[in-house]
Amino acid sequence: MTNTYENAKAIGYADLLEKIKAAGLEDYGLCREALADKIYAACAKEGDAYVHAGLNNADIDGALLALLKDSPDQVLSGIAVAGMLVGAAAKFLYLPEWEKELTEEIRPKAEEYKIVVVNDIINVRESEGDLLLHLAAAKDLADLVDGTYEAGHYVVLAGEAPKKVAPETKVTDLVSAEGAKAYYLGYQYYTPEEAASLTAADATNGVIRVLTEKDCIVAETAKILLKDRAASCGRCVFCREGLIQLEYMQKEITQARGKSNFADLTKEIGEAMCYNTLCTVGQVSAKIALSAFEKFGGEFDAHIKKNKCPAGVCGAFVHIYIDPNACTGCCECADVCPKDCIEGKSKFIHMIDEFECDKCGKCIEACGDEAIILTSGKLPKLPSRLTKVGKFKKH
Ligand code: SF4
Ligand code: SF4
Ligand code: SF4
């Protein structure tokens, strides 16, 4: 346990609030409100006020949990100090359901600070009037009390640890723009042109990701929506049902069953979700799907109308074949195929039965002649029966 709480008491309520205001401390989230204002609002609540600390409900990647893992005492003492300022009847720390190990690790330490640890998202409706506090803001508060606070905004880049940068730092100065097809930050996609004017402060959840030509926007969106579905508590009909529909449509598109009305349906459902859901899970997941369709419509058209995944990621659109002009008939591929779906014999051009093939890629690794090709484009003319090496004619 650190001395932070005692230091805060020594500073005193009024002086500490002045310090928070002077430092410009803000909470993390979709609307970055001044922390001092949020504390005043909770103090004005009629009846008991509580502190609910955690990530934003929509932070499904949990990137900023690293702050709690790396500096548990700072984060916990920040929550305790916030509780003191609000005169909280109780303080809660919310951790995602999947972080059971971290929960067990943190619980004994949290008890020292009289903080109750819960594996859930924050119930925004029931906590109306209380202080909702992001973990990053809790750490900032503890650092401020201890005199170690450094102004800045936490960002998490490609699996790195969170680091603080000036909020006005350009996103393109933080990540390489080389090969960038899309930027994912602040729970939505941006085009490279838009990203040129974005700053670190736009990454409301700290995460900045660059997607390249090798990433499929549809498949990525489907993955994010699946995680959102798992995070949803299901209390709002629009979040519960909307997420099922949005995720279903993205998945259908990745499996070559997309329909031309999916863009309109996504718009209709997504916009309704933005205005009819209680917390960030419903609002933000709608933004992901809406921005995907709006800004990368060409990629959706390629899947739905041209039967093609431009990134070559969606298995339903990917073909595998043996180039009849490159195959030397060495049999190496057939020997490693777990599905036994490569036909051929020594000195004959080999052929893959695509119906049986699960595209595991083992034959590609085994072929020393680079004759086995994975493509999301059209298949070229291939032999229809066993043909001797060098005897295949296109016409
Ligand atoms: S938006 Fe979703 S996660 Fe948030 S309260 Fe409503 S149902 Fe629950
Ligand atoms: S390993 Fe390559 S060269 Fe050898 S038979 Fe298979 S495809 Fe042809
Ligand atoms: S990708 Fe896998 S299953 Fe398909 S032909 Fe090659 S080794 Fe066999």
Instruction: State yes or no: pLDDT of 30 exceeds 70.
Output: no
Task: Concatenate the DSSP letters of all residues of 197-255 into one string.
Answer: T-BGGG-TTSEEEEEETTS-HHHHHHHHHHHHHHH--S-SHHHHHHHHHHHHHHHHHHT
Q: Which atom of ligand 2 is nearest to the CA of 326?
A: 3
Q: Once rounded to an integer, what is the mean pLDDT over residues 32-43?
A: 93
Q: Which residues line ligand 2 (CB under 6 A)?
A: 322, 327-333, 344, 350, 366-367, 369, 371-372
Q: Collapse the DSSP code of 114 into the 3-class scheme (helix H, G, I; strand E, B; otherwise coil) and give the result.
A: coil
Cβ within 8 Å of residue 193, ≥6 positions away: none
Q: Which residue puts its alpha carbon closest to atom 4 of ligand 3?
A: 357
Residue 329 CA to ligand 2 centre (angstroms): 5
Instruction: Report pLDDT digits (tens) over 192-206.
Output: 999 999 999 999 888
Q: Collapse the DSSP code of 29 into the 3-class scheme (helix H, G, I; strand E, B; otherwise coil) and give the result.
A: coil
Q: Residue-wise over 128-163: b if at least 16 C-beta within 10 A, else e?
A: eebbbbbbbbbbbbbbbbbeebeeebbbbbeeeebe
Most informative mutation of 363, 370, 372, 375 for ligand 3 (most atoms within 8 A of CB): 363
Q: Which residues line ligand 1 (CB under 6 A)?
A: 57, 121, 124, 232-236, 239-240, 277-279, 281-282
The number of the ligand nearest the C-alpha atom of 57 reads 1
pTM assigned to the model: 0.81
Residue 330 CA to ligand 2 centre (angstroms): 5
Residue 371 CA to ligand 2 centre (angstroms): 6
Q: Which residue puts its alpha carbon closest to atom 8 of ligand 2?
A: 327
Which of 97-101, 314-318, 333-337 bottoms out in mean pLDDT, i.e. has the lowest?
A: 314-318
Instruction: Report pLDDT digits (tens) over 128-171.
Output: 999 999 999 999 999 999 999 999 999 999 778 999 999 999 99
- The DSSP letter of residue 47 is S
